[in-house]
Structure 1
């Protein structure tokens, strides 16, 4: 009964947006993911899989003639939107909660600053001297339960030597050297990032009778860090004149915009921002897909000194996208959000989905009891984020959002139309829901039970009237 009602309500909402839901042949999975950044100077340094590409920023800004001003990304991640916007002449601000994203953004701001020559010179000296190979003291780093034994013994020693040696550098060089180390951690470890968790290579000895996983070649510390330092040095030296840089075709007279990082949760920071001050917003929030960034980025977080307690606090502070997220008291963040939660309470399709998931939970038919709570939290929290984004946009300002539809307990959840309807109720004009030509499937668990159903991957385009 529930699934039939959900299908009917979903169809009604699809009909409501049918005229503005467009398959955009220019959008590819490469464009809306990190893939297109792999050949771009600067953007290629850190493999942040959850990022969209700099190409996408340029494509959308041109397609919708976004007026000059200040751009905000409330889920800044590795800062792609900030740096791409800046290169196009916009000032940009990004909100980021996770320390790994903050470090990536800070380092990238520094290498675009006025001390590029000094940075290049010092990186060359490190490449020539390789101080981590000299005898000396070590600096130990945090080990979490989920990162214990992540590196070969020799690699672990070299990481500690590297950390000790960079302590003597000036703050800018220290920041960039630490960033370079973050860039190579996965490649020198026994782990691979795999959505909801870290996968462990059998050589780590943590298989516990499970199917053996072989990640392939594990780079030595010397090879990985030398390649990365050279790549960073090379990219800084050649800058945007290089063919691989997305903006190499642009006119030299474009003045890069200022970039500012706001550290913390967007649920805390957005309400403090001034109304009507941003010309555009472009973001890709965490998807409602159970991916836990505190686990997938555990190596980086541990290296940055995040403790077990802090890791747990970060997990709870994130937008609800994992089954471990507890319910947030949104009215405690901002009393004005009562009107937003009312909109969610009255969103018929959303409420039917939540009732269905609660029913499945009560019947013990969910593969994790936290799914129902997570989906509820996700939509209510996203509604509050959308409300704040509407408030801080200038008149005629545009918001772009990259997001995926998901599937739980056999039911496809149209994140695109539900969030767009919430945005419409808040006041946005829904300009387009741009759909990727090829959809995505669902998890292996879901496919085994329910077959493969293509789920939409979209870019939403909302305008403040």
Structure 2
């Protein structure tokens, strides 16, 4: 083929790209105009408030650095602003359980669905640490700190090593982890759970790795190749320094209680805390089993449609908890589709009632325009990963099913809050906020507000290089069930 012919093909492709992107932009504009007074900037919302950052100064909530969590302050802000009626609260993507424990402190019973073992461990440990046996746990931690049995001679308990965690710790640290695990075995169950949780909380800081969205980044000192440029994560904490500091932090917080940094502590006196219940498994499997109209509120932050793979970023923790390669792969497939490796889920086989949600997605022009464009780019081999088109399709169809279930389990006048980000692929800005809100409205929700953070967020460096910087909305959706 001649050079002129190649240029002509490129020119034709560029024109088609422009046309398809133009159609998406028009449909996007129409959907925003459909919600004229709904999409509003809320200056009270900050990146700190909708992320883990604000939890760093909060007792209990600061123990485990769960970067994907929203803050305790955000839950308090939303519940007081929107006056959620007393009852039971659900978080379908519970993560580290922030919403569960804040709602409990506000007097609501709360239930959380969580698939990942690390999230389950965090929630269980917090239930114990806030329960009636707090003082015996504190005594157990104090004795452990005095004895420091990981520094004594003795047997080492082996733990799972995955391909992506092999060599993650300095040799001396790996040895001390094994000693720590071995010495746990004779401890009372509740103390053992807290001690194991403390170890999980320091793994990243004592390793050569750092969590980085889609994968673990490796420090150059590990000897692993990690991209073109050597990565230096800074100080790698010695085992003793990290674990002693964490155990003291947990012990002190249990003694002190949850008041520091609480925006509404003065309003919470004499409130009877609610029960916290963990429901293990995928929300796509657990939600259909829940009773209809059982909850007065739902607050959650699902995985974003951003390719982040939590099975990889939390691989250190999952390996320590005994998850092997097959187990990790199974967790990845059970998750909501948010990675390029997610396969298509047979949603109708899971629940025939979801035909309603699927039909709504089929009939949503903006969503179908985006999916058609991504399929076209995939066929042209112009996506940086061929799994992106399948992931985006799976994400919205699965989220539609989740929203349908949330509507079913909410009681009349029930409120639903969702934290989520808009994304961009192959030059197409994807308005996750308005698409999910239109799906929610078609299912039956009243869309009260789409609260937008003042500064928004940029797209990835890859996207900026090709398509320029475009600020993407970061939002909190506020939906209500009127009927």
- TM-score, normalised to structure 1, is 0.99
* Residues 52-97 of structure 1: per-residue CA shift (max 9 Å, x gap): 0000001000111100000000000000000000000000000000
**In structure 2, do the counterparts of structure 1 residues 41 and 344 end up closer, same or farther at CA, with 3 Å as the change threshold?**
same
Which among 286, 296, 301 is matched to residue 284 of structure 1? 301
**In structure 2, do the counterparts of structure 1 residues 357 and 94 end up closer, same or farther at CA, with 3 Å as the change threshold?**
same
**In structure 2, do the counterparts of structure 1 residues 7 and 204 end up closer, same or farther at CA, with 3 Å as the change threshold?**
same
Provide the residue aligned with 2:176 in structure 1. 158
Provide the residue aligned with 1:338 in structure 2. 355
Q: Say whether 1:59 aligns with 2:77.
A: yes
Q: Partners of 1:268 and 1:461 in 2: how far apart?
A: 25
Shift in Å, 1:209: 6.8
Shift in Å, 1:245: 4.7
Provide the residue aligned with 2:143 in structure 1. 125
Shift in Å, 1:20: 1.1
Q: Partners of 2:226 and 2:114 in 1: how far apart?
A: 36
SS at match of 1:57: helix
Matches within 5 A, 1:165-176: 165-176=183-194
Provide the residue aligned with 2:87 in structure 1. 69
SS at match of 1:261: strand
Say whether the 8 Å CA contact 2:138–2:254 is kept in structure 1: yes
Say whether the 8 Å CA contact 1:198–1:296 is kept in structure 2: yes
Q: Say whether 1:376 aligns with 2:390.
A: no
Provide the residue aligned with 2:157 in structure 1. 139
Q: Partners of 1:286 and 1:164 in 2: how far apart?
A: 35
Which among 356, 364, 370 is matched to residue 373 of structure 2? 356
Provide the residue aligned with 1:442 in structure 2. 459
Q: Partners of 1:269 and 1:326 in 2: how far apart?
A: 20
Provide the residue aligned with 1:186 in structure 2. 204
Q: Partners of 1:326 and 1:417 in 2: how far apart?
A: 25
Q: Partners of 2:54 and 2:279 in 1: how far apart?
A: 26
Shift in Å, 1:421: 0.3
Shift in Å, 1:208: 6.1
* Residues 95-139 of structure 1: per-residue CA shift (max 9 Å, x gap): 000000000000000011111111111101111110100111110
Which among 261, 264, 272 is matched to residue 255 of structure 1? 272
Provide the residue aligned with 2:336 in structure 1. 319
SS at match of 1:217: coil
SS at match of 2:46: coil
Q: Partners of 2:460 and 2:384 in 1: how far apart?
A: 12
Which among 205, 208, 231 is matched to residue 223 of structure 2? 205
Say whether the 8 Å CA contact 1:41–1:245 is kept in structure 2: no
**In structure 2, do the counterparts of structure 1 residues 459 and 387 end up closer, same or farther at CA, with 3 Å as the change threshold?**
same
Provide the residue aligned with 1:101 in structure 2. 119
Shift in Å, 1:249: 2.9
Structure 1: segments with no counterpart, 5+ residues: none
Q: Partners of 1:135 and 1:71 in 2: how far apart?
A: 48
Say whether the 8 Å CA contact 2:92–2:283 is kept in structure 1: yes
Matches within 5 A, 1:191-270: 191-207=209-225, 210-240=228-258, 242-245=259-262, 248-270=265-287
Provide the residue aligned with 1:433 in structure 2. 450
More off after superposition, 286-295 vs 209-218: 209-218
Matches within 5 A, 1:381-396: 381-396=398-413
Q: Partners of 1:354 and 1:169 in 2: how far apart?
A: 54
- Count of equivalent residues: 464
SS at match of 1:305: coil
Q: Partners of 2:436 and 2:340 in 1: how far apart?
A: 20
Shift in Å, 1:210: 2.6
Q: Partners of 1:389 and 1:357 in 2: how far apart?
A: 29
Q: Partners of 1:118 and 1:249 in 2: how far apart?
A: 29
Which among 307, 310, 319 is matched to residue 293 of structure 1? 310
Provide the residue aligned with 2:3 in structure 1. none
- TM-score, normalised to structure 2, is 0.95
Provide the residue aligned with 1:14 in structure 2. 32
Say whether the 8 Å CA contact 1:87–1:247 is kept in structure 2: no
Structure of larger gyration radius = 2
* Residues 355-411 of structure 1: per-residue CA shift (max 9 Å, x gap): 000000000100000000000000000000000000000001010000000000001
Provide the residue aligned with 1:46 in structure 2. 64
Runs of 4+ in 1 over 4 A off after TM superposition: none
Q: Partners of 1:200 and 1:308 in 2: how far apart?
A: 19
Shift in Å, 1:211: 1.1
